[in-house]
Structure 1
């Protein structure tokens, strides 16, 4: 999707090298399951895709990996559980049960001894419909980047796929699924940067808007019940070492951050 995290990280990566993705690159959206066919037919030159499709391309020697999303922004947010306010208000218990199930499942998946079982489940036709070997690298953290010569290029990447963050030092002591308003603030800067909104400047009432989009009450209720630590502040600074261009992000200085980009739509 053009409004997906994959797209914004791809754009950030290109922009960090001085490449304008709107003027110098043709970006097109395709179903991930068609990636291999597009590569083999020579219809695309590169790709940004989530697992297991990335590893599938490597294992079938149809492509190779240059950078992972975590190389562009370490600890970046990815998939989202979203619902309408009217639904969560009308179904408060169900909403909390769904979040509790998600957090419990995330912890289960992040437990190394469960990797084989998780791979077997996800590989089923009713889910990802793929070979288990395509899933194992991201679950076992032993990633094959591949290469132009088709030979394996293995590397241990502990934060390749983060589900709960229980073993990721830089995320401690908080759960990876906490809805940080600062992450939403970063996304807002990129939405404006790449002209995905009708506004061209970072809004003064951004904290209020982000609070409405990323409500915390349900998460806090569930986290308390599951004994998960909750930060006192929903905004945090993303350090320079987290980003590929060594540019830190302070949500309190979002205007200056947005205006510092020379490569933009």
Structure 2
């Protein structure tokens, strides 16, 4: 190493999603040794357990949705704790899955809207974490379905999603793979669309740690990002993904058949191939884009989680460690973009580029702006 590491053994937490693969690859290929690090992986049963262990220092960093560091940093439902996002670990790879009985009449958002209107009861949907389900909420609202009023929305651990669908407790869910593929493999549901059809190349999972960790161990944090950049670069070769699928199957306890095809080809439906991305051409996938974090804040405003406009730009600069990422990219021979905002176009044709976030947040016809903000978040 060219600098002193403040800490050399790191414990990384994750939940059983296909895009925990960069962590698995980094460990299996021994990529950390080159940077003087030793990694151990720790699967967590629920987001609440992961949260508590991360805050207690029992985990040094973790693969999470954006919603976890954001809700903790903002103090949504609890005491605020300074958090840091070190890098994006993956883009795309989420899905909307519906039960077989609904799939017979629902083919897209418009037919789902008609099904919601004609149903004799409120249809029941689930997600993994309320503050991370914003892409799902966005898609429903773009088809005039209010996610908090027109349907029942539940928070369900990922491993419980397919069983709940099979029992008839849920009509569908928005979640990361392999939980959509597993429902199809078991014949209990069908993937309606992939999340990349809602927000192309959206951030799926990020590498999260506490603000205190970055302050105490900045060199270690840089080295960890460099290790995972190398893992992400390795994974953007299709043959490497096929090689790594059995490793992932072993780690998350899901058959390879529910992993491999979508890891390589995306959702696998005609005209709907949106495979998960880990690196990109020069590492731009891994950039902790500040506009990505700001988009989530706009949706928290939209759905009544924040009563007043937050400091969108200030929070993005506090949480997303762009300077640290760029330094780590140099170590890993990757290229970090010079800008920290990017432009995205959503399924309804609306563009987001990080400009005028409050105007964007309050411009939607379907919203929950009048709701009481800061309601306690349900964690599972």
Regarding TM over 0.5, the answer is yes
* Alignment of structure 1 residues 1-265 onto 2, 5 Å: 1-4=129-132, 7-124=133-250, 127-141=251-265, 143-145=267-269, 157=273, 159-166=274-281, 175-197=284-306, 199-201=307-309, 203=310, 205-238=311-344, 242-265=345-368
Offset from partner CA, 1:231-262 (integer Å, 9 cap, x none): 22212222xxx311000113122222112101
Q: Which whole-Å deviations, capped at 9, do the CAs of 1:177-229 have from their partners, x for residues lacking one?
A: 101111111111001111223x333x3x4212210011212201111122322
What's the Cα RMSD here? 1.7
Instruction: Tell whether the 8 Å contact from 2:235 to 2:241 is kept in structure 1 after alignment.
Output: yes
Name the CA distance, whole Å, in 1 between partners of 2:201 and 2:144.
Answer: 23
Question: In 2, distance between residues paired with 1:237 and 1:116?
Answer: 31
The 1-side partners of 2:258 and 2:268 are apart by: 10
Contact 1:123 1:132 in 2 (8 A): yes
Q: Which residue pairs with 1:151 in the alignment? A: none
Cα distance between partner residues in 1 of 2:283 and 2:341: 13
**Residues 141 and 147, structure 2, Cα contact 8 Å, conserved in 1:** yes
Q: 3-state DSSP class of the match of 2:267?
A: strand
TM-score scaled by structure 2?
0.60
Query: Taking CA–CA contacts closer than 8 Å with sequence separation of 6 or more, which of the two structures ends up with the larger relative contact order?
Result: 2
CA distance in 1 between counterparts of 2:153 and 2:166 reads: 18
- SS class of match (1:75): coil
Q: CA deviation at 1:119?
A: 0.3
Flag structure 2 segments of 5+ consecutive residues without an equivalent: 1-128, 369-380
Q: C-alpha displacement at 1:113, in angstroms?
A: 1.5
Task: Provide the secondary structure at the position in 2 that maps to 1:48.
Answer: strand
Q: Give the total of aligned pairs.
A: 240
Relative distance call for 1:129 and 1:174 in structure 2 (3 A) is closer
* 3-state SS of 1:162 partner: coil
Q: CA deviation at 1:100?
A: 1.2
How far apart, in 1, do the equivalents of 2:319 and 2:137 lie?
23
Which range moves more in the overlay, 114-123 or 84-93?
A: 84-93
SS in 1 for 2:161: helix
Larger strand percent: 2
CA gap 1:195/1:142 in 2 versus in 1, 3 angstroms = closer
TM-score (normalizing by structure 1)? 0.85
SS at match of 1:264: coil
